[in-house]
Each structure stands twice: as structure tokens, then as C-alpha cells.
């Protein structure tokens, strides 16, 4: 398959990354910071998810400093889901959330403003339809902002998120993907807010596997970023190798950033996606009407496939720039 080059004629897209680092979140952030022609990272908001908030806000700053970007504004957000106690994923990401490389504690400051207020203020102050939200973790911050300031919904350009699953079913329960499972009530608010939504579910992220040759290519960059990413995926892949027998770590969250840079690497359908919030058995399931068997109105572009070689070619080329 020939790889098209990313379009660079348009001005960079202004984004807020909402994240729970997490090794794959880290790679998504690095890819965004390595791509200033396509992406203008206005700020990064941390949420409780893979590990508690105290660690996700610290890890977000560690990653910015790894990229040499001490200037990026990082905000701490919600430390627990809307209606459930927090579920974390140290079994996948390690006790720090960034196990693998040895990275120094951050020196850059955490912003004083709460992440939810930062999201609201930014959407109100930037021109309508010019800011994209990129949630990479549970949707608690985004949903809380929408509840606190419903006027921001029509001002959102796009929501491009990692979460959910249909054909791949669950990775934290038999029915649900982690980000949606942790805060299904938040996901329901987001999926009903009316903003354009593009979803990167496990259906596509499980096709973005860091095989050994791909991880060797990261290591061969010979840079602190390339080495750190290789060490992150060396650690992060254990869970998926044991559970799925997969060929390497699935790079879930970088699919969001890669879509912003080169959307034609991905294919999907504009369909209805509803969130299960009532059933304990299927809490957090994304009920995706992929086959159009209901008359429920489409509310999301649900991505099902990726040109994996093109994805890794883009990722490796961009990481080499840091
Ligand atoms: O299920 C995978 C998702 O949950 C990824 O975003 C990972 O970082 C965790 O947040
Ligand atoms: Ca994440």
C-alpha cells in the first residue's frame, strides 16, 4: 500500500489533549509535539485513569520534558469518575503508569487552574469551531466541562477520542474497553453532546501493534525519545502478549494523534454509538450500530481499520524529529 504524505496546506489544528499517561498516552503526546505544522497543542489536561491523578498529571509533565517542551501548560483535572469509584490499570502500565524507561521527575510547573475550567475557558475564548478535544483516557474531565458549561458543546470543532470497542469487545471486562468502563456516565454525556466525534476503538488500535521490527526502529533512532519509547513498549506489551497472544503492544492513543496528521491512514463508518450505564454486567459497553440495524441517529465516526505500516512510518519519522 502506498503511503500518502500528511496534508500540510492547512494551518495547524488547535487541540487540547486530555490524558491519563500511560505509555501509549505518552507516545500520543510525543507524536503531537513532534508535529507543529499540523498540530498546535494549546494545553494538556490530566485525568485519573490508568493510574491516579497525582501520577497522571506528573507523567504528562515528564513526557513534555522528554520532548524538550517545558513550555507546555499541563493542568490537573478530575481525580475520580462521575458515579463510580476509580478503577486503575497498574497491571498494564506499572505502578508509576510510565514503567519502562527511567525518566527524571518533572521540573516544569503544574498549572494552578483546574483542567475543567481550562477546557471551558479555552473553548469560550477561542473562535467557535476551532478547538479539537483529544481525550485519551476516561471522559470525566470532558463530561464535567460539558455539565458545568453546556454552551461549550457547539463551540467544539471535533472530539477525537480513544475508547470503546465493537468487534474486539472488552479489554477490562468481557464487554467494555477501559476508558469507557472507568466512567460510563461521562462517556454517555460526551457521546450525546452533539459535537462531531471520531472514535478510535480497540477494533482499530489492536491493528497498530508494535512488533519487534517496529520497536527496533524506535530504538534505532538512537535518541532519548526513541530509546524511551522502545522501553515503554517493551514494558507495556506484556499485558497484550499474555492476554491476546498479540505480536506486540497495541498503540491505542497514538491513533488519535496520527488521525489528526494523516486521516487517510484510517477507515471507519459514521454510525450510532450508545453507552451502557445501567447494567453491572455490561457497564461501559459501546453499543455500536455498525450494521445499521436500528433507526438511532448516527453520532460518531467509528474507526475500524488502519494502514499499520503507514502509521508506524509516520510515527517513527515524527519521533525522529524530537
Ligand atoms: O483501553 C486502552 C485505553 O485505556 C488507552 O487509552 C490506555 O492508555 C488506557 O487509558
Ligand atoms: Ca490513555
Q: What is the pLDDT of residues 101-155, one digit of tens each?
A: 999 999 999 999 999 999 999 999 999 999 999 999 999 999 999 999 999 999 9
Higher-confidence position of 247 and 13: 13
pLDDT at position 2 is 47
Q: Give the mean model confidence (pLDDT) for residues 300-309.
A: 98
Is residue 208 in contact with ligand 1, taking CB distance under 6 Å? no
**pLDDT per residue as tens digits for the range 169-185:** 999 999 999 999 999 99
**Ligand 1 contact, 289 CB (< 6 A):** no
Written as nine digits, the cell of 67 is 520532548
What share of the chain has pLDDT > 70, as a percent?
98
Q: In this structure, which residue's CA is closest to atom 10 in ligand 1?
A: 137
CA 172 to ligand 1: nearest atom: 1
> Packing angle between helix 140-148 and helix 115-125, nearest 10 degrees?
60
C-alpha cell at position 218: 524506535
75: β partners? 45
pLDDT band at 4 (very low <50, low <70, confident <90, very high): low
Pocket lining: 21 vs ligand 1, CB cutoff 6 Å: no
Residue bearing the CA closest to ligand 1, atom 1: 178
User: Which atom of ligand 1 is found nearest the CA of 253?
Assistant: 6
Q: Whose C-alpha lies nearest to ligand 1, atom 8?
A: 22
This prediction's pTM: 0.96
| Domain presence at residue 7 | no
- Give the active site residues: 252
Q: Looking at ligand 1, which atom is closest to the CA of residue 138?
A: 10
- Is the residue at 71 inside a domain? yes
> Relative to the alpha carbon of 182, which ligand is closest?
1
| 20 ligand 1 Cβ < 6 A | yes
Q: How far apart are CA 42 and CA 63, in angstroms?
A: 16
Integer angstrom CA distances of residue 200 from 21, 69, 254, 259, 305: 17, 26, 10, 9, 9
Is residue 164 lining ligand 1, measured as CB closer than 6 Å?
no
Q: How confident is the model at residue 246 (pLDDT cuts 50, 70, 90)?
A: confident
| 191 is a domain residue | yes
The closest of 315, 13, 287 to 164, measured between CA atoms, is 287
What CATH number did the domain enclosing 93 receive?
3.90.245.10
Ligand nearest to the CA of 251: 1
Question: Structurally, how many domains does the chain consist of?
Answer: 1
Domain annotation covers residue 8: no
Q: Which one is predicted more confidently, 242 or 223?
A: 223
Asked whether 25 lines ligand 1 (CB < 6 A), one says: yes
Q: What is the residue range of 296's domain? A: 13-319
What is the three-class DSSP state of 61?
A: helix
Residue 51 falls inside a structural domain: yes
89 within domain boundaries:
yes
How many whole angstroms from 160 Cα to the centroid of ligand 1? 14
Amino acid at each position: 500500500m502506498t503511503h500518502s504524505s500528511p496534508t500540510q496546506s492547512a494551518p495547524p489544528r488547535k487541540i487540547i489533549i486530555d490524558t491519563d499517561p500511560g505509555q501509549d498516552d505518552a507516545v500520543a503526546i510525543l507524536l503531537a509535539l513532534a508535529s507543529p505544522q499540523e498540530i498546535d497543542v494549546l494545553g494538556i489536561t490530566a485525568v485519573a485513569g490508568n493510574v491516579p491523578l497525582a501520577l497522571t498529571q506528573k507523567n504528562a509533565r515528564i513526557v513534555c520534558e522528554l520532548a524538550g517542551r517545558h513550555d507546555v501548560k499541563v493542568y490537573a483535572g478530575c481525580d475520580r469518575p462521575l458515579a463510580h469509584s476509580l478503577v486503575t490499570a497498574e497491571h498494564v502500565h506499572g505502578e508509576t503508569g510510565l514503567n519502562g524507561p527511567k525518566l527524571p521527575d518533572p521540573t516544569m510547573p503544574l498549572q494552578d487552574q483546574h483542567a475543567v475550567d481550562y477546557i471551558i475557558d479555552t473553548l469560550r475564548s477561542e473562535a467557535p469551531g476551532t478547538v479539537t478535544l483529544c481525550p485519551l483516557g476516561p471522559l470525566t474531565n470532558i463530561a464535567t466541562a460539558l455539565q458545568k458549561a453546556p454552551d461549550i458543546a457547539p463551540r467544539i470543532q471535533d472530539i477525537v477520542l480513544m475508547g470503546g470497542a465493537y468487534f474486539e469487545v472488552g479489554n477490562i471486562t468481557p464487554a467494555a474497553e477501559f476508558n469507557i468502563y472507568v466512567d460510563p456516565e461521562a462517556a454517555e454525556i460526551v457521546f450525546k453532546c452533539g459535537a462531531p466525534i471520531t472514535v478510535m476503538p480497540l477494533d482499530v488500535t489492536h491493528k497498530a501493534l508494535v512488533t519487534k521490527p517496529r520497536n527496533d526502529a524506535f530504538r534505532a533512532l538512537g535518541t532519548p525519545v526513541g530509546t524511551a519509547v522502545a522501553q515503554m513498549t517493551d514494558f507495556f506489551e506484556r499485558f497484550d502478549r499474555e492476554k491476546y497472544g498479540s505480536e506486540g503492544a497495541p498503540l491505542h492513543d497514538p491513533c488519535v494523534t496520527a488521525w489528526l496528521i494523516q486521516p487517510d491512514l484510517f477507515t471507519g463508518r459514521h454510525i450510532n454509538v450508545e453507552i451502557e450505564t445501567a447494567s453491572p454486567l455490561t457497564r461501559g459497553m459501546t453499543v455500536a450500530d455498525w450494521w445499521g440495524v436500528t433507526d438511532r441517529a448516527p453520532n460518531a465516526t467509528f474507526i475500524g481499520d488502519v494502514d499499520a505500516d503507514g502509521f508506524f512510518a509516520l510515527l517513527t519519522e515524527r519521533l525522529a524529529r524530537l
